[in-house]
Structure 1
Amino acid sequence: MSTPELELWTLDELCDHAFVIFEELAEENLSPADFQLYLQHADASAFVDLVDATAEWEDWFAVELEPELHLEARIGLAEVAGQPEILLARILLSKEKHETLCHARWRGQE
Protein backbone atom coordinates (compact mmCIF):
# COMPACT_ATOMS: atom_id res chain seq x y z
CA MET A 1 0.00 0.00 0.00
CA SER A 2 1.44 3.38 -0.96
CA THR A 3 1.60 6.36 1.37
CA PRO A 4 -0.72 9.17 0.25
CA GLU A 5 1.01 12.34 -0.87
CA LEU A 6 0.82 15.22 1.57
CA GLU A 7 -1.39 18.14 0.62
CA LEU A 8 0.58 21.29 1.46
CA TRP A 9 -0.50 24.89 1.86
CA THR A 10 1.03 27.41 -0.55
CA LEU A 11 2.88 30.22 1.23
CA ASP A 12 0.02 32.63 0.48
CA GLU A 13 -2.53 30.14 1.84
CA LEU A 14 -0.39 29.61 4.93
CA CYS A 15 -0.28 33.38 5.55
CA ASP A 16 -4.07 33.56 5.26
CA HIS A 17 -4.42 30.52 7.55
CA ALA A 18 -2.14 32.16 10.14
CA PHE A 19 -4.25 35.33 10.13
CA VAL A 20 -7.45 33.29 10.59
CA ILE A 21 -5.97 31.52 13.61
CA PHE A 22 -4.60 34.77 14.99
CA GLU A 23 -7.90 36.59 14.68
CA GLU A 24 -9.82 33.71 16.30
CA LEU A 25 -7.51 33.66 19.34
CA ALA A 26 -6.20 37.24 19.67
CA GLU A 27 -8.90 38.67 21.92
CA GLU A 28 -8.43 35.88 24.47
CA ASN A 29 -4.63 35.96 24.44
CA LEU A 30 -3.53 39.57 23.94
CA SER A 31 -3.87 42.29 26.55
CA PRO A 32 -6.95 44.45 25.98
CA ALA A 33 -4.67 47.34 24.95
CA ASP A 34 -2.79 45.23 22.39
CA PHE A 35 -6.01 43.77 21.02
CA GLN A 36 -7.52 47.25 20.58
CA LEU A 37 -4.30 48.47 18.96
CA TYR A 38 -4.52 45.59 16.51
CA LEU A 39 -8.18 46.29 15.72
CA GLN A 40 -7.47 49.97 15.12
CA HIS A 41 -4.50 49.43 12.81
CA ALA A 42 -4.97 45.99 11.25
CA ASP A 43 -6.21 47.17 7.86
CA ALA A 44 -3.26 49.49 7.31
CA SER A 45 -0.43 47.90 9.26
CA ALA A 46 -0.96 44.19 9.96
CA PHE A 47 1.66 41.78 8.63
CA VAL A 48 2.60 38.14 8.72
CA ASP A 49 6.13 36.88 8.11
CA LEU A 50 6.83 33.19 7.64
CA VAL A 51 10.18 32.04 9.02
CA ASP A 52 11.83 28.72 9.77
CA ALA A 53 10.65 27.24 13.07
CA THR A 54 13.39 27.15 15.69
CA ALA A 55 14.18 24.61 18.40
CA GLU A 56 12.54 26.94 20.96
CA TRP A 57 9.21 25.43 19.96
CA GLU A 58 10.38 21.96 20.94
CA ASP A 59 11.29 23.28 24.39
CA TRP A 60 8.08 25.27 24.88
CA PHE A 61 5.58 22.66 23.72
CA ALA A 62 7.41 19.32 23.60
CA VAL A 63 6.81 18.93 19.88
CA GLU A 64 9.12 17.35 17.35
CA LEU A 65 9.71 19.68 14.43
CA GLU A 66 10.25 18.62 10.87
CA PRO A 67 11.95 21.56 9.10
CA GLU A 68 10.36 20.69 5.77
CA LEU A 69 6.86 20.66 7.31
CA HIS A 70 6.85 23.37 10.00
CA LEU A 71 7.04 27.15 9.83
CA GLU A 72 6.62 29.97 12.29
CA ALA A 73 4.21 32.76 11.40
CA ARG A 74 5.09 36.06 13.04
CA ILE A 75 2.10 38.37 13.16
CA GLY A 76 2.19 42.00 14.16
CA LEU A 77 1.80 45.60 13.19
CA ALA A 78 4.25 47.59 11.11
CA GLU A 79 5.15 51.04 12.37
CA VAL A 80 2.16 52.60 14.17
CA ALA A 81 2.14 56.20 15.44
CA GLY A 82 5.92 56.39 15.38
CA GLN A 83 6.39 53.11 17.24
CA PRO A 84 8.57 50.51 15.53
CA GLU A 85 7.17 47.15 14.46
CA ILE A 86 5.10 45.42 17.16
CA LEU A 87 5.21 41.61 17.21
CA LEU A 88 1.89 40.35 18.60
CA ALA A 89 2.13 36.59 18.11
CA ARG A 90 4.34 33.77 16.95
CA ILE A 91 2.37 30.79 15.67
CA LEU A 92 3.85 27.38 14.88
CA LEU A 93 2.09 25.88 11.88
CA SER A 94 2.35 22.81 9.74
CA LYS A 95 2.55 23.23 5.97
CA GLU A 96 0.37 20.11 5.70
CA LYS A 97 -3.29 21.09 5.21
CA HIS A 98 -4.73 18.25 7.27
CA GLU A 99 -2.35 18.60 10.24
CA THR A 100 -4.03 20.26 13.22
CA LEU A 101 -0.79 21.27 14.95
CA CYS A 102 -0.96 24.87 16.07
CA HIS A 103 0.87 26.45 18.99
CA ALA A 104 1.20 30.13 19.73
CA ARG A 105 3.30 32.50 21.81
CA TRP A 106 1.64 35.86 22.46
CA ARG A 107 3.05 39.30 23.17
CA GLY A 108 3.55 39.56 26.91
CA GLN A 109 3.55 35.80 27.45
CA GLU A 110 6.43 34.63 29.60
Structure 2
Amino acid sequence: MSGPRLYTEEEATHQAYDIFLELAPNNLSDKDVEDFNEYREELGFIEEGEPDDQWQDFVALEIEPEHFIQVLVGLEFETDDVLFAKILISRDKDAPFCHILWKETA
Protein backbone atom coordinates (compact mmCIF):
# COMPACT_ATOMS: atom_id res chain seq x y z
CA MET A 1 0.00 0.00 0.00
CA SER A 2 1.38 3.38 -0.91
CA GLY A 3 1.43 6.39 1.34
CA PRO A 4 -0.62 9.56 0.98
CA ARG A 5 -0.41 11.61 -2.19
CA LEU A 6 1.29 14.83 -1.12
CA TYR A 7 1.48 18.26 -2.67
CA THR A 8 5.00 19.64 -2.88
CA GLU A 9 5.86 22.28 -0.29
CA GLU A 10 5.76 24.85 -3.08
CA GLU A 11 2.26 23.79 -4.19
CA ALA A 12 0.96 23.83 -0.62
CA THR A 13 2.54 27.25 -0.04
CA HIS A 14 0.80 28.62 -3.15
CA GLN A 15 -2.50 27.19 -1.90
CA ALA A 16 -1.99 28.77 1.52
CA TYR A 17 -1.20 32.14 -0.07
CA ASP A 18 -4.30 31.96 -2.31
CA ILE A 19 -6.45 31.18 0.74
CA PHE A 20 -4.80 34.07 2.60
CA LEU A 21 -5.59 36.50 -0.23
CA GLU A 22 -9.19 35.30 -0.41
CA LEU A 23 -9.87 35.52 3.34
CA ALA A 24 -7.71 38.50 4.35
CA PRO A 25 -10.39 41.17 3.71
CA ASN A 26 -12.72 39.40 6.17
CA ASN A 27 -10.08 38.75 8.84
CA LEU A 28 -7.74 41.74 8.80
CA SER A 29 -8.41 45.42 9.34
CA ASP A 30 -8.88 47.61 6.28
CA LYS A 31 -5.56 49.29 7.11
CA ASP A 32 -3.74 45.94 7.26
CA VAL A 33 -5.18 44.93 3.89
CA GLU A 34 -4.20 48.31 2.41
CA ASP A 35 -0.68 48.07 3.86
CA PHE A 36 -0.23 44.54 2.57
CA ASN A 37 -1.46 45.43 -0.92
CA GLU A 38 0.70 48.55 -1.03
CA TYR A 39 3.95 46.98 0.20
CA ARG A 40 3.76 43.28 -0.70
CA GLU A 41 5.77 43.56 -3.93
CA GLU A 42 8.61 45.31 -2.15
CA LEU A 43 8.49 44.04 1.43
CA GLY A 44 6.21 41.02 1.46
CA PHE A 45 7.39 37.62 2.64
CA ILE A 46 6.04 34.11 2.53
CA GLU A 47 8.01 31.60 4.58
CA GLU A 48 7.25 27.94 4.79
CA GLY A 49 8.61 25.48 7.26
CA GLU A 50 7.81 22.75 9.70
CA PRO A 51 4.77 23.43 11.89
CA ASP A 52 5.69 24.66 15.35
CA ASP A 53 4.31 23.33 18.63
CA GLN A 54 1.81 26.19 19.02
CA TRP A 55 -0.60 24.47 16.61
CA GLN A 56 -1.48 21.75 19.12
CA ASP A 57 -3.27 24.46 21.13
CA PHE A 58 -5.53 25.26 18.18
CA VAL A 59 -6.19 22.09 16.24
CA ALA A 60 -7.40 18.76 17.56
CA LEU A 61 -5.46 16.51 15.25
CA GLU A 62 -2.02 15.04 15.25
CA ILE A 63 0.24 17.18 13.13
CA GLU A 64 2.66 14.99 11.28
CA PRO A 65 5.46 17.26 10.02
CA GLU A 66 5.74 15.44 6.69
CA HIS A 67 2.01 15.94 5.99
CA PHE A 68 1.68 19.60 6.99
CA ILE A 69 3.58 22.80 6.49
CA GLN A 70 3.39 26.12 8.24
CA VAL A 71 3.28 29.23 6.07
CA LEU A 72 3.90 32.74 7.39
CA VAL A 73 2.65 35.75 5.41
CA GLY A 74 3.71 39.27 6.29
CA LEU A 75 5.72 42.37 5.55
CA GLU A 76 9.34 42.93 6.44
CA PHE A 77 10.00 46.55 7.40
CA GLU A 78 13.41 47.86 8.47
CA THR A 79 12.26 48.41 12.03
CA ASP A 80 9.81 45.56 12.49
CA ASP A 81 8.18 42.63 10.74
CA VAL A 82 4.40 42.49 10.56
CA LEU A 83 2.95 38.98 10.51
CA PHE A 84 -0.54 38.97 9.02
CA ALA A 85 -1.20 35.26 9.03
CA LYS A 86 0.27 32.01 10.29
CA ILE A 87 -1.17 29.17 8.25
CA LEU A 88 -1.19 25.43 8.85
CA ILE A 89 -1.97 23.59 5.63
CA SER A 90 -2.13 19.91 4.76
CA ARG A 91 0.03 18.58 1.94
CA ASP A 92 -2.19 15.48 1.66
CA LYS A 93 -4.22 15.72 -1.56
CA ASP A 94 -6.89 13.42 -0.11
CA ALA A 95 -7.24 15.17 3.25
CA PRO A 96 -7.46 18.92 2.70
CA PHE A 97 -7.04 21.00 5.82
CA CYS A 98 -6.15 24.61 6.47
CA HIS A 99 -6.18 26.65 9.68
CA ILE A 100 -5.15 30.29 9.89
CA LEU A 101 -4.13 32.34 12.90
CA TRP A 102 -4.73 35.96 11.90
CA LYS A 103 -2.92 39.06 13.11
CA GLU A 104 -4.58 40.46 16.19
CA THR A 105 -6.43 43.67 15.41
CA ALA A 106 -5.90 46.30 18.04
Normalising by structure 2, we get a TM-score of: 0.85
Question: Which segments of structure 1 move beyond 3 Å, counting only runs of 4 or more?
Answer: none
Q: Which residue of 2 aligns with 1:94?
A: 90
Q: 1-side partners of 2:8 and 2:17: how far apart?
A: 14
Match of 2:103 among 83, 104, 107: 107
The question of whether the paired residues in 2 share the 8 Å contact of 1:91 and 1:104 is answered with yes
Segments of structure 2 that go 5 or more residues without pairing to the other structure are: none
Asked if 1:27 corresponds to 2:28, the answer is no
Aligned length: 105
Q: Which residue of 1 aligns with 2:16?
A: 18
Q: Which residue of 2 aligns with 1:61?
A: 59
Q: Does the residue aligned with 2:63 lie in a helix, a strand or coil? A: coil
1:10-30 Cα shifts (integer Å, max 9, x gaps): 222122111101001101111
Q: Which residue of 2 aligns with 1:9?
A: 7
Asked if 1:39 corresponds to 2:24, the answer is no
Q: Which residue of 1 aligns with 2:72?
A: 74
What amino acid does structure 2 have at the position aligned with 1:50? Answer: E
- The answer to which structure, 1 or 2, has the higher relative contact order (CA under 8 A, 6+ apart) is 2
Segments of structure 1 that go 5 or more residues without pairing to the other structure are: none
Normalising by structure 1, we get a TM-score of: 0.83
Q: 1-side partners of 2:23 and 2:51: how far apart?
A: 20
Q: 1-side partners of 2:61 and 2:99: how far apart?
A: 10
What amino acid does structure 2 have at the position aligned with 1:62? Answer: A
Q: 1-side partners of 2:62 and 2:87: how far apart?
A: 15
Q: 1-side partners of 2:63 and 2:10: how far apart?
A: 21
The question of whether the paired residues in 2 share the 8 Å contact of 1:57 and 1:63 is answered with no
Instruction: Compute the displacement of 1:52 (Å).
Output: 1.3
